[in-house]
Amino acid sequence: MPQYVTKSLTICRWTINRAQEFTELHQDLLQLFDLDPETTTPENALSRFSDQVHPADKKDVLSFWSIKADRFPTSQVFRYFRRDGTMMCLRSILIMKLDNGNVLGTTHDISEARFQAKENEKIKLQLEKITKTSPSIIYVYDLKLQQNSYANRSLFDVLGYSQEDVAALGDQLFPATIHPDDLPSVLAHHSSVLPYLQEGDSVRLEYRMKNKKLGTYVWLKSTEAPYSFDENGEVTSIIGIAEDVTSEKEAANAVFQLNKELREKNEALEKIQLLLKDAEAVKKLNRELKLSEKKLNLMNQEMEEFVYITSHDLSEPLRTVSNYLGLIINEKQDLLDTEAKDFILRVLGANERMKQVVHDLLSLSRVGREQKTEQVVLKDLIYEILQDLDQVIKESGTVIDIQSLPIVTGNVSDFRRLFQNLISNGVKYRKQGISPRIVLRAEEKRDHWIILVSDNGIGMDPKHSEKIFQPFQRLHLSSAYEGTGIGLAICRKVVESHDGKIWVETEPDKGSIFYIKLLK
């Protein structure tokens, strides 16, 4: 079983190039490695050294010395056989990359220190000698004592803290100097990351530390690697190298800020573009809508004109037909046999119905023609209508109940047509054997009136409650109830031309309630 031997606690400094040749090789390193000074040159020293490394560590040695790794510092311990067969533990640390690309490092024998977890003052002094001229802050931090056991001069140059300041601050160094926003993550890093690092690991951390002289914060980028372990293999101290990256950070922040602003502006621009697109689409739709509306109005106008003219022109010949047929019946009846008389009477009947259709069509086309609007006292208007319908009301024994009704604004002739149709329908569609009863009343709402015209008549299937407002839609045969199917179409046209609405609630045998909504 090879014994660990401690040759010396000398810390050997060296530099190595990319070809893994020492560019700086001191006698004491040859001594430490126990290499033959006669045959060892800076070029072959490393391969000689590697030959004597413990076989289990050989692979790690090769990757450690290849200076591809750009994480500094990196530290690793190797077991090494001296020429006499004894074994020792050497810690090598890649401290930093020099300007020419070579790497500066140290190696020291920790055969004893590794297991006693002791840091030797002499080692620190030597480390100081080596790292004194580095522009980076190089430090050894004791995780148990929570304070720096060593820091080079750059700590003073970059942050203004002297060795005495560091000693005086002790374990308060970080709480007192690290930016409050960064302190929790730094402390967490110290307690839960650093102690568990393995040989060869290194970790990075960025945080802000206060510049003692200026009171401002400096962004530091630290890379830390294990420096010593205790007997349980837990890291007791770390070696770290920290660089002032404030200007990079500020530049990055400025770029980030600019990017953020740019992104926000882009987003706003995209939204505006979308809105503009939407606005364009809405404009186009509006234009198309207006055009269709115009076309529709024109067509409606032409249609109404056509209905008005034809119904007007039809009235005259129809009247003439009726007159002549009347004359034939009255004055030439001796010339007619019974059958001929019957035919003529039938034609007269059909002619009368035709006259009624033409009359109703004329009424429909007249709705809205008169532009004149006035205050219409509905109660008075209804009384006038009742006078016109006096005969049919009396004959049918209809009871009309007029409750309070409002004064509304609109065209009185149109309103007359509206209520005349509703009341006469109420009388017409009465139930056999029951005296008809029609109630007119109003409900006042915030900005409109609802006028209700209800009857106790035959009612109808509610599925027809839309259809009956269309022209020529009848639910009954003319033989059962006379009519042209235009009355409710007139009602709807009157109400809609006053910006109102009309609808019905009805059930077969249960009567009907017509609702008219009119704006105040």
Minimum CB separation of residue 427 from ligand ADP in Å reads 9
Beta carbon of residue 485, minimum distance to ligand ADP (angstroms, whole number):
4
Q: Minimum CB separation from ligand ADP for residue 511, in Å?
A: 7
Token pair, residue 201, equals 């690991």
| Type of residue at 94 | L
Asked whether the bond before 462 is cis by omega within 30 degrees of 0, the reply is no
Q: Which is nearer to ligand ADP, 19 or 477 (CB)?
A: 477
Give 351 or 473: the residue with its C-beta nearer to ligand ADP: 473
Ramachandran angles phi, psi of 17, nearest 5°: -100, 180
Q: Rank residues 410 and 457 by Cβ distance to ligand ADP and give the closer one.
A: 457
Question: Which one-letter amino acid corresponds to residue 47?
Answer: S
For residue 406, cis peptide bond before it (omega within 30 degrees of 0): no
Contact 249/221 with Cβ under 8 angstroms?
A: no
Beta carbon of residue 473, minimum distance to ligand ADP (angstroms, whole number): 6
Residue with smaller CB distance to ligand ADP, 193 or 475:
475
C-alpha pair distances (Å), 379 with each of 189, 389, 403, 406, 494: 91, 15, 9, 8, 18
- State which residue, 153 or 355, has the beta carbon closest to ligand ADP: 355
* Least CB distance to ligand ADP at residue 365 (A): 15
User: Tell me, what DSSP letter sits at residue 430?
Assistant: P
Strand partners, 13: 106
Residue 481 CB, nearest distance to ligand ADP (Å)?
A: 7
Q: Say if CB 72 and CB 51 are below 8 A apart.
A: no
Between CA 425 and CA 432, with CA 427 as vertex, the angle to 5 degrees is 120
Q: Report the candidate in 77, 123, 84, 72 with the shortest Cα–Cα distance to residue 5.
A: 84
Nearer to ligand ADP, 79 or 441 (CB): 441
CA distance 444 to 422: 20
Strand pairing of 103-109 and 87-97?
antiparallel
Q: Least distance to ligand ADP from the beta carbon of 429, Å?
A: 3
**Closest C-alpha to 409, from 497, 511, 484:** 497
Determine the Cα–Cα distance for residues 126 and 9; give it in Å rounded to an integer. 10
348: nearest Cα among 310, 318, 315? 318
- Nearest partner of 454 among 399, 492, 378, judged by Cα: 399
Residue closer to ligand ADP, measured from CB, 211 or 473: 473
Q: Which is nearer to ligand ADP, 149 or 473 (CB)?
A: 473
| Nearest-approach distance from CB 502 to ligand ADP, in angstroms | 12
Residue 223 CA to residue 239 CA, distance in Å, equals 8
Q: Which is nearer to ligand ADP, 325 or 475 (CB)?
A: 475
Smallest distance, ligand ADP to C-beta of residue 459, A: 6
- Cβ atoms of residues 206 and 218 within 8 Å: no
Q: How far is the CB of 503 from ligand ADP (least distance, A)?
A: 13
In the numeric block, the tokens 């008075």 are attached to 380
Q: Site residues (CB under 6 A) for ligand ADP?
A: 421, 425-426, 429, 455, 457-460, 468, 473-476, 483-489, 512
From 24, 21, 43, 45, select the one nearest 33 (Cα to Cα). Answer: 45
Shortest distance in whole angstroms from residue 436 CB to ligand ADP: 10
DSSP assignment of 259-282, as one string?
HHHHHHHHHHHHHHHHHHHHHHHH
Strands 203-210 and 217-229: antiparallel
Nearer to ligand ADP, 11 or 385 (CB): 385
d(CA 474, CA 429): 12
For ligand ADP, the closer of residues 226 and 457 by Cβ is 457
